[in-house]
Structure formats: C-alpha cells, structure tokens
Amino acid sequence: MVIGLPSDHLRKGRTMDTKAHVLEQIASNLYKGEDDVVATLVHQALDQGMAPAKILNGGLIAGMDEVGKDFKAGDLFVPEVLIAARAMHAGMDILRPLLAEGEVPSAGKYLIGTVQGDLHDIGKNLVKMMLEGAGFETIDLGTDVKPDAFVAAVREHQPQLIGMSALLTTTMTGMKATIEGLEEAGLRDTVKIMVGGAPLTAAFAEQIGADAYAPDAATAVDVARNLMGV
C-alpha cells in the first residue's frame, strides 16, 4: 500500500518548484539580455506572492553574478554586459519602489566617478551597472570630478565605499588629490576607497593610500563585497 502526501503538501511543493523556476528564468533571461521577458517574469513572480527581496536576490542578482563571472573569464564582452545590465534595470524599475517600501537594506552605498581631467566613462558605467546588479546603491558623480566634489558628495551621501576611475595616466594624480582632500576634511576613515582604470596597478593604489584596486568591473563587485564584509 502506497501512502501519499496530503494534498496541501503537494500543492506547497508545486508552488515552491514554480517559484524557483521563475527565479531561474529571470536569471537566465537577464543573462541573455531579454529585458521585456525579465520585466514580465518579475511581474509574474510578484503575482505569485514572492517577496521583492527574494526576486532581487534569487533572480536579478543571481543573473548578474553569472554575467560578472563570465565577463571576468572572457566569455562575455562589454556589449553583452551592457545588454544584460539593461535587462537588470528593466526588473529593477519594477522592484525598486517595492523594495523601498519594505526598507530592504542595500549591499552598501557606493559613490563613483571619473577623476578630474578625465572624460572617459565606459569603465565607470560598467562598474556602476555591475554594482547595481549586485544590490549596491550607487551615486554616480559622472566624469571630470574634482577632489572637492568627491569630498562634498561624501559629506552629503555618507557612502561606505568610493570608486574612482581614470583612463589617462595624466589624470591618475587626481585620485591621490581626492584621498588627500578626504584626509584634510576628516572623512578618510569613514569610507573605503577603490580605484580602477586601464593604466592603474595594485602597486599604484597602495602608493596613493587607496584601500583596493579592481582591474575590471566584475572584480570590482567582488572587491566591494569584500570591503563591506559581505
């Protein structure tokens, strides 16, 4: 004689399977850059009663983690990452107000900008998108950011992390000037500082007093998480 599970247990099992499948589909379609599909699936997950934070972590962040992993390995390239990030934003546009209502904590507040004299922003934008995909709240100061603008933004936003980018060797000195500005303002100990950009090295980061160096956008997420103790 075979004794079956009560029907409510079966229904519960099917519901859990369905929810897990939706999260997997969100992550998979985000990876492929299917922004409309991601938005539809996020709505579907919400209709099933799934918590916004669970959709964020199990769907969007999980998908962007895979993007970051393959980008770092050289299996994905910048255009594909940008397309995936667009899909991530399609999901975040739906979840953001719900997450705010529920007071879901972010992974950390991250202030980012390209230093004074440098107008390059592709690398900075990639880092920003990857961080947002990992659950960080980002404040983007843009390009050609003077040291005193970084200092003022730290006072205003009180981030845990700062990311500075430079593509030109001639503008790398702006990173040291910004760190010195934060020291003079008595704010240096309130933040962890990351630097990155094509001409930079870990040795340079250490020399100017930064806390960490990230050679690419995917690594920047890992470094940020480590600095936050996540």
> What pLDDT score does 1 carry?
39
Q: Is the pLDDT of residue 104 over 80?
A: no
Q: Reply yes or no on whether the pLDDT at 174 is more than 70.
A: yes
What pLDDT shows up at residue 88? 92
3 pLDDT band (50/70/90 cuts)? very low
* Tokens representing residue 143 in the block: 């390009």
Give the largest Cα separation in the chain, rounded.
Answer: 80
* pLDDT for the residue 101: 73
So what's the pLDDT on residue 25?
A: 96
Tell me what percent of the residues of the chain surpass a pLDDT of 90.
70
CA–CA separation, 73 vs 140, rounded Å?
A: 27
User: Is the Cβ–Cβ distance between 156 and 119 less than 8 Å?
Assistant: no
Q: Whole-model pTM? A: 0.77
Amino acid (1-letter code) at residue 91: G
Token pair, residue 2, equals 């075979």
Q: What is the pLDDT of residue 9?
A: 44
**Residues linked to residue 193 through DSSP beta bridges, in sequence order:** 162
Question: Averaged over 91-108, what is the pLDDT?
Answer: 81
* pLDDT per residue as tens digits for the range 33-89: 999 999 999 999 999 999 998 998 899 999 999 998 999 889 998 899 889 999 999
Residue 13, pLDDT above cutoff 70: no
Domains in the chain, CATH or no CATH each: 14-104 (1.10.1240.10), 106-230 (3.40.50.280)
Average pLDDT, the chain: 89
For tokens 């950009």, name the residue: 197
Between helix 217-228 and helix 122-133 the angle, nearest 10°, is 50
Question: Which is nearest to 117 in space by CA: 87, 91, 95, 147?
Answer: 147
Q: What is the pLDDT of residue 78?
A: 85
Give the mean pLDDT of 163-181.
96
Structure token digits, residue 225: 């998480």
